[in-house]
């Protein structure tokens, strides 16, 4: 499983120093942008990850990161995927004016934001802050402040995003998955028909060639914008979205993160003196729904469910392994997930170097190691699946994943993503969650035993 070549790159200590530098550089005073170049606003799941790294730099900043995000929480509990901030620049498209979320009565009047969600990692982040914060008393006060907001966020997902009451939240836009152009959405994207006149003239903000390279195609972008138009036409009313939106999917990563977040909410509830029972029940409900509905017996893998056509989406991508993170699979399912992760599709090939984990199966013809969520390695996913493997006792394999999380930034810096076979960095540089994941893994001892590599 291990590749034993001599790895090059800066030392671990130097990489840690650079990680802190990236977080300083991207800090705006109230939150951390994912990067100056392409993402000059606050993104929801980026901030959750970033706070888990920031806690090792500055407790106040880690907390402010979360507070700043939740300032944009809607009255119905929705936590928007982007919070716009003037002082961080205004050239992101689609920006606050385009979203025009105030057409929905629950949207905040004074905090510009989007009308979509992103994977709900926030409760897990807040629990982590509580567990490792240097100032425990202050951390407990912060957890008390955050608990009702997190509760409202999760209540929203179970109340509004699960119209069939199955214990699984839907997403209504690929952006909500955090894996925008994953091949897993291709089938649904191809089905969405519209006329050019149905979408406004717009200019992508990633128009420089070096940035667009390896980013979603213009065709994808048109569909993304069309879906935004649909949501705007429906004034982001959840019941109408559930009825009419052509993209309606029970995503694996989103729901796995939700399931783990409910388990973490139970711990948070206990810490702050609230009732943990509802969280345990919902977590188990979601896990059970995975095992019953989202497990595909033919391929022995978890598959997301397309609610529009009421059938699974048959693509093998990293979302398929995310249930490990939340302890969802039974022993048999976990073993099959592990076998797939260890196969030529997702694991090391022969004696070739391969970094973990490719975001999409290398055995599929449209696998592309340089295109965004269609092949490259992302450090947050490496950490998440590594944690899942550890949970099920696949420690050696987990070490291989954490080794990638450790080696890629040492070789190529804190890039947005990395080429699976060469380890070269791709996308923007000084990317916050890559730096935060590195710091987090270091402080959690997940790199232990790798000093000699
Ligand atoms: C759209 C910020 C975000 C991440 C997502 C990633 C990408 C945005 C984009 O960047 O999405 O939300 O412009 O492509 O796919 O996971 O949160 O880093």
* Antiparallel, parallel or unpaired: β 305-306 and 301-302: unpaired
Quick one: pLDDT at residue 213? Answer: 76
Give the ligand 1 atom nearest the CA of 118.
17
| Separation CA 404–CA 427 (nearest Å) | 18
Ligand 1: which of 43, 69, 318 to mutate, most ligand atoms within 8 Å of CB?
A: 43
CB atoms near residue 248 (< 10 Å): 21
CA dihedral 35→36→38→42, nearest 10 degrees, is: 60
* Ligand 1 first shell, C-beta below 6 A: 34, 39, 43, 45-46, 81, 175, 178, 180
Helical H segments across 55-135, by residue range:
59-70, 96-99, 122-132
Quick one: pLDDT at residue 90? Answer: 62
Ligand 1: which of 178, 317, 378 to mutate, most ligand atoms within 8 Å of CB?
A: 178
Quick one: pLDDT at residue 75? Answer: 98
Angle between helices 59-70 and 44-54 (to 10 degrees): 160
Distance of CA 396 from the midpoint of ligand 1 (Å): 31
The pLDDT tens digits along the chain (453 residues) read 333 344 568 999 999 999 999 999 999 999 999 999 889 999 999 999 999 999 999 999 999 999 999 999 999 999 999 999 976 556 788 999 999 999 999 999 999 999 999 999 999 999 999 999 999 999 999 999 999 999 999 999 999 999 999 999 999 999 999 999 999 999 999 999 999 999 999 988 876 666 667 899 999 999 999 999 999 999 999 999 999 999 999 999 999 999 999 999 999 999 999 999 999 999 999 999 999 999 999 999 999 999 999 999 999 999 999 999 999 999 999 999 999 999 999 997 655 567 899 999 999 999 999 999 999 999 999 999 999 999 999 999 999 999 999 999 999 999 999 999 999 999 999 999 999 999 999 999 999 776 533
Report the candidate in 263, 337, 262, 352 with the shortest Cα–Cα distance to residue 295. 337
| Separation CA 2–CA 407 (nearest Å) | 13
User: Quick one: CA dihedral 410, 412, 418, 423, positive or negative?
Assistant: negative
* Full-model pTM: 0.96
Give the ligand 1 atom nearest the CA of 34.
18
Distance of CA 103 from the midpoint of ligand 1 (Å): 24
Distance of CA 395 from the midpoint of ligand 1 (Å): 30
Distance of CA 274 from the midpoint of ligand 1 (Å): 34
**Token digits of residue 178:** 């955090």
Ligand 1: which of 175, 213, 254 to mutate, most ligand atoms within 8 Å of CB?
A: 175
Report the candidate in 378, 384, 361, 374 with the shortest Cα–Cα distance to residue 418. 378
Tell me the catalytic residues. Answer: 180, 416
**Which residue is closest in CA terms to ligand 1's atom 6?**
178
């Amino acid at each position: 499983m291990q590749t034993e070549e001599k790895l090059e790159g800066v030392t671990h200590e130097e990489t840690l120093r650079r990680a802190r530098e990236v977080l300083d550089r991207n800090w705006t005073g109230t939150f951390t942008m994912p990067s100056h170049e392409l993402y000059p606003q606050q993104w929801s799941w980026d901030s959750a990850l970033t706070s888990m790294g920031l806690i090792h730099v500055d407790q106040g900043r880690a907390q402010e990161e979360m507070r700043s995000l939740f300032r944009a929480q809607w009255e119905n509990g929705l936590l928007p995927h982007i919070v716009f901030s003037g002082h961080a620049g205004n050239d992101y498209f689609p920006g606050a004016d385009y979203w025009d979320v105030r057409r929905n009565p629950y949207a905040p009047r004074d905090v510009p934001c989007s009308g979509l969600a992103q994977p709900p990692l926030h409760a897990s982040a807040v629990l982590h802050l509580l567990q490792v914060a240097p100032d425990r008393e202050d951390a407990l006060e912060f957890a008390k402040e955050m608990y009702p907001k997190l509760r409202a966020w999760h209540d929203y997902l179970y109340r509004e995003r699960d119209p069939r009451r199955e214990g699984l939240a839907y997403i209504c836009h690929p952006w909500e998955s955090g894996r925008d152009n994953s091949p897993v959405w291709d089938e649904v994207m191809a089905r969405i028909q519209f006329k050019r006149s149905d979408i406004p003239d717009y200019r992508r903000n990633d128009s420089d060639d070096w940035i667009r390279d390896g980013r979603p195609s213009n065709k994808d972008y048109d569909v993304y914008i069309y879906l935004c138009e649909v949501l705007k036409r429906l004034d982001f009313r959840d019941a109408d979205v559930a009825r009419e939106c052509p993209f309606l999917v029970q995503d694996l990563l989103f729901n796995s993160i939700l399931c783990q977040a409910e388990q973490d909410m139970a711990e948070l509830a206990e810490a702050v003196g609230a009732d943990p029972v509802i969280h345990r029940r919902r977590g188990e409900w979601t896990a059970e729904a995975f095992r019953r509905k989202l497990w595909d017996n033919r391929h022995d893998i978890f598959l997301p469910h397309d609610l529009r056509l009421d059938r699974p989406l048959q693509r093998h991508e990293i979302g398929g392994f995310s249930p490990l993170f939340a302890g969802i699979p039974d022993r048999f399912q976990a073993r099959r997930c592990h076998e797939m992760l260890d196969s030529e599709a997702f694991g090391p090939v022969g004696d070739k170097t391969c970094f973990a984990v490719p975001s999409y199966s290398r055995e599929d013809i449209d696998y592309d190691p340089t295109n965004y969520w269609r092949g490259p390695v992302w450090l947050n996913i490496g950490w998440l699946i590594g944690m899942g493997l550890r949970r099920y006792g696949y420690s050696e394999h987990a070490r291989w994943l954490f080794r990638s999380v450790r080696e890629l930034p040492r070789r190529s810096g804190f890039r947005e993503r990395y080429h699976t076979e060469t380890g070269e960095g791709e996308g923007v540089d000084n990317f916050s969650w890559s730096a935060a994941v590195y710091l987090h893994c270091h402080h959690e001892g997940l790199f232990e035993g790798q000093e000699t590599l």
